[in-house]
Structure 1
Amino acid sequence: MTQSEKEKLIEIIHTRIESTKADIEELTELVKPIPLDASIGRVSRMDAINNKSINESSLREKKKELKKLERALENSESDKFGICTKCGDVIPFGRLEYMPHTTRCVICVG
């Protein structure tokens, strides 16, 4: 990986971290408890509870993604950044550009 590719990946990671943090903030607001005294009908309350459940799942996934991105940023200074942890081959730049937190090449993931 060239130095310019590495710098581009670090920039992508920073951008994704900020975006993910914003998503987490938004989802945190959406998963707050639904007050019992809220003036919504029974069906609307059921929809709100269902949406809350979906948002809780999304929040868990975003938190996992944030941890992976932060770990990728920490590892970006390592000589092994962009190297598959299983086979030791170089992970293609396009894959890293799409998934900067990945630690394995396509062959080893599959």
Structure 2
Amino acid sequence: MTDSEKIRLKEIIGSRIQQTKNDIAELQELVKPIPLDASIGRVSRMDAINNKTINESSLREKLQQLKKLERAEENSDSGKFGICTRCGEEIPFGRLEYIPHTTRCVKCVG
């Protein structure tokens, strides 16, 4: 991986971390408890509870993604960044550009 590609990946990781943090903040607002005195009908309350469950799942996924991105950011200066943890081959730049927190090449994922 070239130096310019490493710089580009650091920018991508930083950008994705910021976007993920924004998504987490938005989801945290959406998963707040629904007050019992809220003036919504029974069906609307059931929809709100269902939506809350979906948003809680999305929030968990975003928190996991944030951890992976932060780990990738920490490891981006190490000599192991961009190297498959399974086979030891270099992970193609295109894959890292699309999934910057990946630790395996396409061959070892499948």
Percent identity reads 79
Name the structure 1 match of 2:82. 82
Q: What displacement does 1:34 show?
A: 0.2
Q: TM-score normalised to the size of structure 2?
A: 1.00
Q: TM-score normalised to the size of structure 1?
A: 1.00
Q: What displacement does 1:59 show?
A: 0.1
Name the structure 1 match of 2:108. 108
Q: What displacement does 1:20 show?
A: 0.1
Other structure's SS at 1:87 match? coil
Q: What displacement does 1:9 show?
A: 0.2
1:16 paired to 2:7: no
Name the structure 1 match of 2:3. 3
What pairs up with 1:60-71 in 2 under 5 angstroms?
60-71=60-71
Q: Deviations over 1:59-106 (max 9, x none)?
A: 000000000000000000001110000000010000000000000000
- How many residues align? The count is 110
Residue type at the aligned position of 1:95: R
Residue type at the aligned position of 1:46: M
- In the alignment, structure 2 segments of 5+ residues that lack a partner are none
Report the aligned-residue RMSD.
0.3
Superposition misfits of 4+ residues, deviation over 2 angstroms: none
Q: What displacement does 1:44 show?
A: 0.2
Name the structure 2 match of 1:44. 44
Other structure's SS at 2:57 match? helix
